[in-house]
Structures are given as C-alpha cells and as structure tokens.
Amino acid sequence: MHKGFILWFTGLSGAGKSTISQRLAEIFRQRGYKVELLDGDEVRTHLSKGLGFSKEDRDTNIRRIGYVARLLARNGVIAITAAISPYREIRDEVRAHIQEEGAAFVEVFANASLDALVERDVKGLYKKALAGEIANFTGVSDPYEPPLQPEIEVRTDRETVEESTQRILNYLSERGLIG
C-alpha cells in the first residue's frame, strides 16, 4: 500500500497540465497505484458546473478541487489535479490544509512562454482571447500568479512530454512518494 498524496498542476491554458497528468495517471495505474485525475475542464462540467471566471468563482472552483483531492489522498489515492489555479493564495491555502493532515502536496508548475502557447494554441482559445472575444482569459486578460517555490517546474516549451513526465517521476521517487 502506498500513501496518498496530491500532485497539483498549475499553469496557463495549453501549458501541458492535462497531457502530462494523463500520462502520469496511466503510468501509476500500470504500476498498480490507485490514482484519480481531477481535470479542470471536466470539473467545470460537473463539480463546478455554473461557476464562471470571476476571481470569486475561480477561488470556489479551486477550493472544491482541493477538498476532493484531500479526501482522495486521505484514502491512499494519488490525486492529480490539472486546473489553471491562477491564484497563489488559494493554492497555498489548499497546500496548508493538506499538509495539516500529514499528506504531501507536490506543486508542479507547467511553464511555457506566452509566445509558445499562442503559437501552439491547442484549443484555439488564445486567438480568440487576443482578439478580445473571451473576457477574463488567464494570461491575456486575467491574472496568473506563478508559484514562487513549486516542488517541480517543467518547461513544456523546451521539453518533450516524456521528458517532463520523467522529471516528475524522478522527483516523486527521490521524495519516497513512489517506489
């Protein structure tokens, strides 16, 4: 039996949170670990349906994700979250709650330059946001506060998905969180 912990991704849209977290979830499952993935886009269609993109709604969304992740980690599950989570204060609040319970909170900063993200534009959203068609778009017309001391930073504009994934796995095994 392994201990539950939280792997918390943060970063702009298109930075690679979903891609890397899905890859990790697959690897953990293959190794027989219990794992759940709370993906930001999916959470917004279920758990946080009806919430918008004001600061208040974003904070509520992140607190909910943090709460569910905490329940999972408490029960021995590796909880991976992949939401933009733009505000440092709320991420740190979630971190404090988790750590109070003795579980590890591993913050992964998926970082890529805005230029690279605009170029990549996986979901076609940057084009719209830059044209002023999407209000409150993180990184363009809404704030993003990068973590000051993330446990891990992956530079997804310079690394392949496999490299980023491997660096995270290495960190987790050095910390003794996975075997």
Site for ligand ADP in 18-37 (CB under 6 A): 18-20
Q: How many residues belong to the site for ligand ADP (CB under 6 A)? A: 18
Judged by beta carbon, residue 101 or residue 145, the one nearer ligand ADP is 145
Is residue 16 close enough to count as binding ligand ADP by CB under 6 A? Answer: yes
Cα→Cα distances 117→48, 124, 151, 156, 162, Å: 26, 10, 23, 10, 19
Look up 85 and say whether it is catalytic.
Answer: yes
State in angstroms the smallest separation of the CB of 37 from ligand ADP: 11
Among 4, 14, 139, 147, interactor with ligand ADP by CB under 6 A: 14
Question: Which residue, among 110, 90, 108, has the nearest Cα to 98 in the 3D structure?
Answer: 90
What character string, x for contact with ligand ADP (CB under 6 A) and - otherwise, covers 64-93?
------------------x-----------
| 166 binding ligand ADP? (CB under 6 A) | no
In the complex with ligand ADP, the residue whose CB is nearer, 93 or 121, is 121
Choosing from 18, 21, 85, 164, which is the catalytic residue?
85
- Choose which of 13, 81, 111, 138 interacts with ligand ADP (CB under 6 A): 13
Q: What is the set of active-site residues?
A: 85
Interacting residues toward ligand ADP by CB under 6 A: 11, 13-20, 82, 110, 120, 122, 156, 159-161, 164
